[in-house]
Structures are given as C-alpha cells and as structure tokens.
Amino acid sequence: MREAVAGNRYPGRGVVWARTLDGALCGGYFLTGRGAASRARAVRRGDGELIVSPTGESEHDPLRHYVAARERDGWLVFGNGEQVAVVSDRLRQGESAVASLGGLEYEPDPPIFTPRVTVVADLRSGRDAWLGAARRSRGARSTADVLTLAVRDLEPGDAVLMTTYRSDGRTVATGEPFLEARTTAADQGQLLDELWGALTPELRVAAAVFEPGRLADAAIRHQAPARV
C-alpha cells in the first residue's frame, strides 16, 4: 500500500479499509491539499464523529469542512464530504448499506468534479464493508456513475483504497475506482505511519486510522504548520 499511495503524488482525499497483521480491521481517512484553504484544516473528535474543520477563522465550506466519520446504531461510515452524514442517516432509517450509498452525487467543482468516496462498515457482523464512489461519467453525461464494492473476509495484510485524484505531480485526474493492495502494518498505529509516510510531505494535511466500534480511539496525525 505504501507504494500505491506514494506513487500518487496528489491523491486528494482517500479512504482505506484494511486488516492489519494483528488481525484487526481498520478504517483510514486522509487529506492532502495544494491551496492555503485546503491545507488550513484539521481532523477533530466529536461525539461519535471525526470532523474536518478549519484551523483558522475561515467560514464553513461544505466542500472542505464536514463530518468525515460517524458511528451510529451499529454502523461506521466515513468519507470525503457531507455525504457521510447523509449515508449515516439513511442507515438509521433502516436502509441497506447498498441503498444508503445510492443516489449520491460527485462534488460540484468543475473542471475535475471530485468523486464522493465513502465506506460503510457493519459493526454487528464485524466483517462486512461496502465502498462507494459517486463519479462523473468520462463521457458527455453529467449524471453520476455510482460504484458500490462489497468487501468481506479480508486476510491480514489485505487493504482496499479509494482516492479522489490521480496525479503525477503535473496533471490531476479523477482517481481509479478502487485499488487493492497489501499492508505491512502490524496494528492501527503502524497503519497510520504507513499512510502518513507515503503521502507527499508538502501536500499532506491530516490522516486518521480507527478500528470499527472504537472511533473515539482513532489515531490522528496532522502536518505541522509551515514556518513563515
């Protein structure tokens, strides 16, 4: 997984679902940014939530500031935007995981139209997860293509990730629908180290890794503010 992340110089935002070598399932979320507003963000703990919020006095921007992870009623949901709250509410209303990920839209940020990437994990089964992506068609259609990938029975070292972008450092394009990889992380802390170490240092903003059912114990890391 380190090579998959490091080979993508600007991944934007990303979600990870993995089983570490100690057998624990872990979710991961990371942020990178190029502009000042994108970099002036932090991941903070809320009540059963992780929230991406501004580090200064910036006004709320729904494309930059949102609930990134939430645990409610036997479900863990995490992703790169306000759809996390939408999906969580749908699950609480009794919708299935697949139905809760349906009908989502990509972000209204031309020209790239950033995908919405989301993970839903069933805390009751302890094994089932669904990764969803709402992406703009590569053709002329403006309607979203919604991909839902069911993932279960990961073996130790297995990982699946989605990123919003794919970049060689010069051009930025929509990321691949999903990537399968291997992690050498023995536990939650090492998985955070692996992710953080693979992100381009001058672009990384924050990352969090957490075990399902233990979101309050998430391991979180932030880039130190640049010295002026």
H or E element, residue 51: strand 49-54
| Domains of the chain as residue ranges with CATH | 2-222 (3.60.20.20)
The answer, yes or no, to whether residue 226 has pLDDT greater than 80, is no
pLDDT per residue as tens digits for the range 28-38: 999 999 999 89
Cα→Cα distances 73→82, 91, 104, 131, Å: 19, 8, 21, 19
Among the listed residues 48, 78, 51, the one whose alpha carbon sits nearest the alpha carbon of residue 65:
51
Cα→Cα distances 59→31, 54, 56, 63, 81, Å: 19, 8, 9, 12, 16
**Strand, coil or helix: what is 38?**
helix
pLDDT per residue as tens digits for the range 53-77: 999 777 788 899 999 999 999 999 9
User: Facing residues of 206 across strands?
Assistant: 31, 222
pLDDT per residue as tens digits for the range 114-171: 999 999 999 988 889 999 999 998 888 899 999 999 999 999 999 999 999 999 988 9
- Taking the model in full, what pTM does it have? 0.95
CB 144 within 8 A of CB 104: yes
Cα→Cα distances 77→27, 128, 168, 212, 219, Å: 10, 12, 30, 10, 17
